[in-house]
Amino acid sequence: MGSERVEMRKRQMQVHQEAAASVLQARHRMGNTPTNASNACCFCWCCCCSCSCLTVRSEDETIQRSTFERRTEGTNNCEESPKPTLEDASSWPMSFEKVMKSAAGRGCFRQFLRTEFSEENMMFWFACEELKKETNKTVVEEKVRQIYEDFISILSPKEVSLDSRVREVINRNMLEPTSHTFDDAQQQIYTLMQRDSYPRYMNSTAYTDLLKSLEEPPPEP
């Protein structure tokens, strides 16, 4: 039953997208394509489903998105994060904030989340941090759409767990996307990691082994 619902939603989204594409193509042939067509979007939620109707993006937006995705993937790669020092890693049990303020801490914690199949929480948090640094309105709107598709849509394999109140906030914010569209959602995911995953990481063999490896003296030349 669940799989049938998902397939139905996918078909509905495909129909909406094809219809939007046809309208834009017709307007383009008539020389009447609206200048803000690439930014138009609508979202709706209910208690059991989520759907989106997105207009066809311009070639520039597609290039812009692919560039952003490559940059984000590179920055988010755990293996590329700096190796922590013993002093840094030893401070992480003091508070979750210590972990999140350390680039090495975020990398190691994300590796742990990956083993628990909840890596998307850190990815979403980081994407929101990157969004808040952006000031260009067009880029902000594109990043907001991307974050929604990657982490909010129930059709995404990386969907994060948010309650109905926060989804309603997102619904309102999507009417006028800004760099703070997902602030409430980001805070909820931060709290979830702090209360749920962080204590397990501090008591895990992954963290214990990390400390041991940092305490070991370097090999003699």
Report pLDDT digits (tens) over 201-213: 999 999 999 999 9
Q: What angle separates helix 137-147 from helix 59-76, to the nearest 10 degrees?
A: 60
What pLDDT sits at residue 25?
47
DSSP for 142-190 reads HHHHHHIIIIISTTSTT-----HHHHHHHHHHTTS--TTTTHHHHHHHH
Q: How far is CA 208 from CA 86, 93, 99, 155, 214, in A?
A: 12, 11, 15, 37, 10
What's the rounded Cα separation, in Å, for the pair 67 and 62? 9
Q: What is the DSSP letter of 56?
A: P
Q: Which residues on neighbouring strands pair with residue 54, listed in sequence order?
A: 41
How many other CB atoms are found less than 10 A from the CB of residue 174? 21
What's the rounded Cα separation, in Å, for the pair 188 and 161? 9
In the chain, which residues have pLDDT < 50? 1-2, 5-6, 8, 12, 15-16, 19-79
The amino acid at residue 178 is T
- Total residue count of the chain as it appears in this document: 221
What pLDDT sits at residue 7?
57
What pLDDT sits at residue 140?
97
What's the rounded Cα separation, in Å, for the pair 110 and 87? 19
What pLDDT sits at residue 157?
95
What pLDDT sits at residue 127?
97
Question: Distance between terminal CA atoms of the chain?
Answer: 63
